[in-house]
Amino acid sequence: MPTSTTEDPNPREPNPGDPHPGGRDPGGRDPDTKARLYDAFAASGKALASGKRLELLDLLAQGERTVDALAKAAGLHLTTASAHLQTLKQAGLVVTRREGVRIHYRLAGEDVARLLALLRKVAEAHQAAVPAARDAYLGAYDPAEVTHEELGARVAAGEVVLLDVRPAEEYRAGHIPGARSLPVAELTDRIDELPQETEIVVYCRGAYCVLAHDAVRLLTERGRRAVRLHDGMLEWRLAERPVAAGDPA
């Protein structure tokens, strides 16, 4: 009488480097458990494999936002923004809370912000296309920058005006203590609010935020002495430096 056999519908691919092909490892583990572990890691990588999703994470690193606000800031249709945010949520990179009919998104933790910052730095260091793309977006490199340490000393001494040129809602969510809020979109109309002789240090979201570059160029064209903080609010937070919140005093 013929013997019946049942074929595995998902046979494991043979691995020439597997010291125990077709069987369990010395610890008695099913080799497929390793594959499932690395597939779980890869789910996070897949969620990050979109420029727009990285941009949404960059915006959320500034503070919690609604889907509508994120879509507007990222230049996306609402349905597209929602789909990207769902992908990030399924990967555990963002979390939500409901307020009436509105859904608010925020990063799942500071470690997500660190991952974003590290990913960008690794890409810049090892991917040839990044420096050229960075320069095309941010403009010509200006070596006049201020470090965190220099900024603290100069603000304390009253030597500079510290200017936050992000949108007002991002300033309210968290800013460098002592900073004045003047969104770059309002800078041309409100430049006379700034002192004429004092040097201005400008910052925005992070090392790859164009707002501070645009503000420094505009201020310089108007005869003001202006330099950038060498990175921005994301890196300031990650360095565990003091952060203030709320409206300007």
Contact indicator for 164, 175 with CB cutoff of 8 Å: yes
Instruction: Taking the CA atoms of 198, 204, 207 and 213 in sequence, report the sign of the dihedral they define.
Output: negative
CA proximity to 207, closest of 95, 155, 93, 130: 130
Task: From the candidates 67, 91, 204, 219, give the one annotated as an active-site residue.
Answer: 204
Contact indicator for 217, 191 with CB cutoff of 8 Å: no
Say how many residues make up the chain.
249
Q: Give the SS3 label for residue 233.
A: helix
**DSSP-assigned letter for residue 66:** E
End-to-end CA distance of the chain: 90
Asked if 209 is an active-site residue, the reply is no
Instruction: Taking the CA atoms of 90, 94, 95 and 99 in sequence, report the sign of the dihedral they define.
Output: negative
Contact indicator for 207, 120 with CB cutoff of 8 Å: yes
Residues designated as active site: 204
